[in-house]
């Protein structure tokens, strides 16, 4: 005999742990220890708002965790009411987020009404039992639980969603580097601070293009800096977050799109530049450590960024090629042929080491695993001190950075390769510049790799003999 329509088939007991059917929907039920029943009742119950057993099994564990916390607090009076409320809030916000999304995606008014019924049921559970009766016989509830109940309803019904409500989930799905992740959190912190100072509700619904413009006007004061690059960094992170929200139908559009601070026009003598040959001579013949001399030469003859060089391991220097870790927006590791002048350095630094050993153990990186600094942080500082020691500097009034820095080796390589008539797209492929239609990845073979090798070998260090260097310096000074 078949199952009658509308009657839910009896599932196995293992599937219904902590669950029971109430009407046509599942709810969580947990027995209360006997000694706590005068205080909590016989059972704790929470409607899940679904008739799907698989969905109920997915949802029940957060509720079970909350019920256990309630029982633990009752058993442990030392546990403060605020701590218990904090536990309840975490669970409630997770559920509000789920219901909010279901409501946004509802296909009919009937479906939305069913979700709203579930929201109201759970809001009543959050508010708890009345703790007294006020004027006109109106029940009074615990203020903390009542406020949580109201917040739950406003979020679940998409009426008021805190700016940071979805941010943790957004960050968990992001693959950005730790320093960029820190910028994300800092940008949102500035946004919330601005709302507080300007009496604007910090919710997605109340933050419009008008507020975005006002925030941009005040951002420099919040950050304490006027540099357009710094300010644009924070606007960019907010824009990426809003784009994510837009794709998930949490907001109607990206209010940050197109909002940028204009960088002032730079004259030629204000732009960061390559080293001159005289500066290269001073750097490559000065009293630096062997490690620093090796790093500088690899930078000069590959055009690689400093952190990619310092992070090299023995296995990354095989088959006459470097494999540099991805930098900036590179999609993956990048191949770069090893210049003949670097073979001795690679051989010396690889000798007697295992595949995973560092080429530059002198700079092991920050000891704190949570540090946002790159491994090359100390290398960069030491290079700056050394560069100044040998008289290589170009500081302009109003500019935070010198116009020459380690990146100037990268600019020098690109300049010398161009002067040697190497194709622009091959130079870009070698040094990892953004480009269209060509990629020199770690598995490149054939003509492209050979072109890259010719490009690398077309660049040579300036003559470092004393007599030539002296003449060169005099010539440039003239």
pLDDT in tens, 189-225: 999 999 999 999 888 988 899 999 999 999 999 999 8
**Residue 156 pLDDT greater than 60, yes or no:** yes
The mean pLDDT of 177-184, rounded to a whole number, is 88
Q: How confident is the model at residue 420 (pLDDT cuts 50, 70, 90)?
A: very high
Give pLDDT tens digits for 376-393. Answer: 999 999 999 999 999 999
* pLDDT of amino acid 339: 96
**Residue 435 pLDDT greater than 70, yes or no:** no
**Residue 333 pLDDT greater than 70, yes or no:** yes
Least confident range of 98-107, 385-394, 411-420, 451-460: 98-107
- 3-class secondary structure per residue, the chain: CCCCCCCCCCCCCCCCCCEEEECCEEEEEEECCHHHHHHHCCEEEEEEEECCHHHHHHHHHHHHHHHHHHHHHHHCCCCCHHHHHHHHHHHHHHHHHHHHHHHHCCCCHHHHHHHHHHHHHHHHHHHCCCCEECHHHCEECCHHHHHHHHHHHHHHCCCCCECCCCHHHHHHCCCCCHHHHHHHHHHHHHHHHHHHHCCCCCECCCCCHHHHHHHHHHHHHHHCCCCHHHHHHHHHHHHHHHHHHHHCCCCCCCCCCCCCCCCCCCCHHHCCCCCCHHHHHHHHHCCCCHHHHHHHHHHHHHCCCHHHHHCCEHHHHCCCEEEECCCCCCCCCEEEECCHHHHHHHHHHHCCCCCCCECCCCCCCCCCCCCCCCCCHHHHHHHHHHHHHCCCCCCCCCCCCCCCCCHHHHHHHHHHHHHCCCCHHHHHHHHCCCCCCCCCCCCCCCHHHHHHHHHHHCCCCCCCCHHHHHHHHHHHHC
**Residue 422 pLDDT greater than 50, yes or no:** yes
Characterize the bridge pairing of strands 25-31 and 19-22: antiparallel
Rounded Cα–Cα distance for residues 342 and 327 (Å): 22
Least confident range of 159-163, 366-370, 423-427: 366-370
Q: Is the dihedral of CA 65, 71, 75, 81 positive or negative?
A: positive
Least confident range of 167-171, 207-211, 340-344: 167-171
Q: What percent of the chain clears pLDDT 90, i.e. is strictly above it?
A: 42
Average pLDDT in the chain = 84
Crossing angle (nearest 10°) for helices 407-419 and 424-431: 150
**Residue 470 pLDDT greater than 50, yes or no:** no
Give pLDDT tens digits for 62-83. Answer: 788 778 877 877 777 665 666 6
The mean pLDDT of 330-338, rounded to a whole number, is 81
* pLDDT of amino acid 76: 74
The mean pLDDT of 95-99, rounded to a whole number, is 84
This model's pTM is above 0.85? no
Rounded Cα–Cα distance for residues 244 and 167 (Å): 10
Q: How confident is the model at residue 477 (pLDDT cuts 50, 70, 90)?
A: very low
* Higher-pLDDT residue of 106, 196: 196
* pLDDT of amino acid 8: 37
Residues 277/476, Cβ–Cβ less than 8 Å = yes
* pLDDT of amino acid 2: 41
* pLDDT of amino acid 183: 93
> Which residue pairs, CB below 8 angstroms and at least 24 apart, start in 34-42?
36/71, 36/74, 36/75, 39/74, 40/70, 40/71, 40/74
Q: How confident is the model at residue 269 (pLDDT cuts 50, 70, 90)?
A: low
Choose among 410, 296, 424: nearest CA to 360: 296
* pLDDT of amino acid 469: 44
* pLDDT of amino acid 142: 82
**Residue 318 pLDDT greater than 50, yes or no:** yes
CA atoms within 13 A on the CB side of 326: 13
Residues 142/131, Cβ–Cβ less than 8 Å = yes
Residues 259/252, Cβ–Cβ less than 8 Å = no
CA angle 261, 267, 271 (to 5 degrees): 80
**Residue 13 pLDDT greater than 50, yes or no:** no
Q: What percent of the chain clears pLDDT 70, i.e. is strictly above it?
A: 86
| Token reading at 179 | 């320093």
Choose among 230, 204, 208: nearest CA to 219: 230
Q: Structural domains in the chain?
A: 19-156 (no CATH), 167-247 (no CATH), 270-477 (1.10.443.10)
* Higher-pLDDT residue of 333, 48: 48
């Amino acid at each position: 005999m078949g199952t009658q329509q509308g009657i839910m088939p009896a599932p196995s007991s293992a599937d219904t742990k902590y669950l029971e059917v109430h009407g046509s929907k599942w709810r969580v039920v947990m027995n209360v220890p006997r000694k706590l029943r005068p205080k909590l009742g016989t059972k704790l119950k929470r409607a899940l708002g679904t008739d799907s057993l698989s969905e109920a099994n997915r949802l029940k564990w957060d509720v079970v965790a909350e019920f256990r916390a309630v029982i633990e607090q009752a058993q442990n009076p030392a546990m403060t009411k605020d701590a218990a409320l904090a536990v309840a809030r975490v669970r409630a916000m997770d559920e509000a987020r789920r219901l909010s999304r279901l409501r946004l995606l509802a296909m009919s008014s009937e479906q939305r009404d069913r979700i709203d019924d579930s929201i109201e049921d759970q809001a009543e559970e959050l508010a708890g039992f009345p703790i007294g009766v006020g004027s006109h016989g109106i029940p009074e509830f615990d203020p903390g639980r009542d406020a949580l109940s109201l917040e739950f309803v406003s979020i679940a019904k998409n009426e008021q969603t805190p700016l940071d409500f979805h941010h943790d989930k957004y960050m968990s799905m992001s693959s950005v580097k730790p320093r960029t992740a820190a910028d994300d959190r800092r940008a949102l912190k500035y946004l919330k601070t601005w709302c507080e100072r300007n009496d604007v509700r910090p919710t997605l619904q109340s933050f419009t293009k008008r507020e975005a413009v006002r925030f941009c006007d005040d951002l420099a004061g919040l950050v304490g800096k006027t540099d357009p690059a710094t300010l644009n960094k924070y606007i960019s992170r907010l824009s990426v977050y809003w784009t994510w929200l837009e794709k998930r139908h949490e907001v109607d559009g990206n209010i940050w799109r197109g909002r940028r601070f204009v960088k002032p026009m730079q004259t030629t003598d204000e732009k960061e530049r390559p080293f001159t040959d005289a500066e290269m001579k001073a750097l490559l013949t000065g009293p630096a450590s062997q490690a620093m001399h090796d790093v500088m030469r690899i930078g000069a003859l590959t055009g690689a960024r400093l952190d990619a060089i310092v992070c090299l391991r023995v296995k990354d220097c095989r088959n006459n090629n470097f494999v540099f870790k991805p930098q900036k927006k590179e999609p993956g590791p990048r191949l770069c042929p090893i210049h003949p002048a670097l073979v001795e350095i690679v051989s010396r630094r690889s000798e007697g080491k295992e595949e995973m050993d560092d080429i530059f153990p002198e700079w092991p990186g920050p000891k704190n695993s949570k540090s946002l600094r790159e491994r090359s942080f100390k290398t960069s500082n030491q290079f700056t001190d050394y560069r100044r020691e040998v008289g290589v500097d170009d500081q302009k009034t109003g500019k935070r950075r010198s116009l020459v820095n380690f990146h100037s080796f990268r600019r020098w390589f690109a300049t010398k390769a161009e002067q040697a008539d190497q194709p622009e797209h091959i130079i870009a492929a070698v040094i990892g510049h953004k480009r269209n239609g060509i990629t020199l990845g770690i598995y490149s073979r054939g003509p492209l790799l050979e072109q890259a090798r010719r490009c690398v070998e077309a660049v040579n260090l300036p003559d470092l003999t004393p007599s030539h260097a002296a003449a060169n310096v005099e010539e440039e000074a003239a």
